[in-house]
Amino acid sequence: MDRPPLSRHLPIALLLAAAFVIGMATLGDYGESWDEADIRRYGAYAIDAYNFLLHPRDLPEFETNLNLYGPAYFVAVELLVRLGAFLAPGLPLLTAWHAAYFVTFLCGVWLLYLLALRWMSYRAAFGAALLFTTQPLFWGHAFINPKDIPFLTFFLATVYLGFRMVDSWRERPRVGASLVISALSLGLTCSLRVLGPLAGLLVLVYGGIRDRSRAVLPAAVYLGLALLTMYLAWPYLWAAPVSRFI
């Protein structure tokens, strides 16, 4: 099947570019939300936690309930901000974190567009992405909400990547890069929010509908890798995985 011309993606590319420019120009207009300071500390704590991976019972507990959320996204942003501080020492810490949240939101817009293209025309998919991007609630939270906006993006990524993985099962029912990447996405999504497993459920239902006979083994590997990813990405689970997850 021929690939669509890149010109069909020009509207979404222009939308994302315009949103990025506007977002970067207005970063300073957003203050600090109530839990951001603790989240930055939690990201640093989680990086240090890997020193206790082999003896998790010695890991000191984080003093707030943030440990009930997996810190993978916070760790990633913390590392990126540290790199940014090295490359641009004058960049304010809060501004750097807000920029990371907003770029994560734009990634979610792109994923929504790609997911919509599975059922819609290019114009309709672009319209959905445009409507989504310009919602005032989403736009504002894209700068100050380090929990829900990343979860939104990771959930979309898990569904989109999972559907593509299922499509590949019909051609090559074996473990491949698509399965591994999809499982990593599901594991991280499950750690971010307790509703994360629903993304995996959507993928498994889709797999069962498309080709149940070929889906059993890949689905088992998919879930196994996702569980391993969730465990490794969430220090709170290490000492007692089942009881603490429940």
Residue 79 has pLDDT above 80, yes or no: yes
Average pLDDT, the chain: 91
Give the integer Cα–Cα distance in Å for 179 and 202.
Answer: 15
**Per-residue pLDDT tens digits for 202-234:** 999 998 888 777 778 888 999 999 999 999 999
CB atoms inside a 10 Å sphere around CB 24: 14
Residue 92 has pLDDT above 90, yes or no: no
* Domain residue ranges of the chain, discontinuous segments joined by +: 33-245
Measured CA angle at 11 (ends 147, 142), to 5 deg:
15
Give the integer Cα–Cα distance in Å for 28 and 26.
Answer: 5
Q: Give the model's pLDDT for residue 17.
A: 97
In this prediction, residue 1 has a pLDDT band, given cuts at 50, 70 and 90, of very low
Q: Give the model's pLDDT for residue 174.
A: 59
Give the integer Cα–Cα distance in Å for 155 and 193.
Answer: 10
